[in-house]
Amino acid sequence: MKKNDYILIGILLILSLAVSLSVFLKGHASEASVVVIAVDGNAVGTYSLREDREIPIDNEYGHNLIVISDGKVFIGESDCDGRDCIAMGRISKGGDRIVCLPHRLEVYIKGGDGVDTVAY
């Protein structure tokens, strides 16, 4: 093998790596479209995941503050006991959900592919 053969092999390896990486990122970078907030199973609001905002939910069950920021949604404040809904963290993929049982609140993302893993 000559020097040019090694250069050609190197270029082909770099190109194949770049193509593989772009296919992998494109296949896994699906963006969910909307956040749905429901109380007692009834939707009370639908919001874009792309727009940062804070949504206060006050009803007979209590107070929650839902925060949409940087393409993710989480519960920033809650006056329930234990505050497990806050500990659920940030969600961003289709099918993900946060639930506050004492307040009968459900926050979930509708849209996107909701794929957790892919096997080849």
The reply to whether 115 falls in a domain is: no
- Amino acid 29: pLDDT: 42
Which domain does 72 fall in, by range? 34-110
Cα–Cα dist 58/79, whole Å: 10
Instruction: Kindly report the pTM of this predicted structure.
Output: 0.67
The reply to whether 17 falls in a domain is: yes
The reply to whether 118 falls in a domain is: no
- Amino acid 118: pLDDT: 53
- Amino acid 28: pLDDT: 47
From first to last of the 120 residues of the chain, give the pLDDT tens digit.
Answer: 889 989 999 999 999 988 888 776 655 444 557 999 999 999 999 999 989 999 999 999 999 999 999 989 999 999 999 899 999 999 998 889 999 999 999 999 988 655 555 555
H or E element that contains 86:
helix 84-87
Say if residue 88 is in the same domain as residue 101.
Answer: yes
**22, exposed or middle or buried, with CB in 10 Å at 0-12, 13-18, 19+?**
exposed
Where do we find the tokens 């990486």?
21
The reply to whether 23 falls in a domain is: yes
Say if residue 25 is in the same domain as residue 79.
Answer: no
